[in-house]
Amino acid sequence: LKLGNLIVTMPEVGLSVEHVENDELLLFCWDVGGQYHDRIWPLCSYYLQGSAALIFVVDSHDHDRLGDAADQLQMALREMGQHAMQNFVLLVLANKQDLPGALSAYEVAERLGLPQLSGTHWHVTPCSARTGTQDGLSDGMTWVQ
């Protein structure tokens, strides 16, 4: 998302918000740390008003924590409310596809419970943040637009 620049990050404790913009798209990226997520998700309904999409990034290589990611996604969608969910699209970026043993887009969708969502247009794009557009990231952004 940073247009080819590799950004070194540390595990998030709390919340980090970053703004990414190009000619066609304006993104406000929230990195929600695992420790305070129950306090942060209730805020999302305020910040997502008027948004066209929710982009949810998961580690498709970390099989053990995908259940936690599913819980977090369900919590976010619940906080947003049914009306908001019908007015935007959900893109799931299944990150770390460059690692052996990463789950497929279909497997990620199943583990997140996406087929059971009603009234929400969703899509799972396999990608690799390390290699960027070569592995699906641009495809996902195109789908959102």
Contacts of 85 (CB under 8 A, 6+ apart): 77, 117, 119, 120
Q: Which residues pair with 142 in a beta bridge?
A: none
74 catalytic? Reply is no
Report residue 70 as tokens.
């599913």
Q: Which of 35, 49, 82, 134 is catalytic?
A: 35
In the β-sheet with 121-126, what is the strand arrangement from edge to edge? 53-59, 89-95, 121-126
Return the beta strands (E) in 11-133 as ranges. 15-21, 26-32, 53-59, 89-95, 121-126
Query: HSE on the CB side for 40, CA within 13 Å?
Result: 16
Catalytic positions are 35
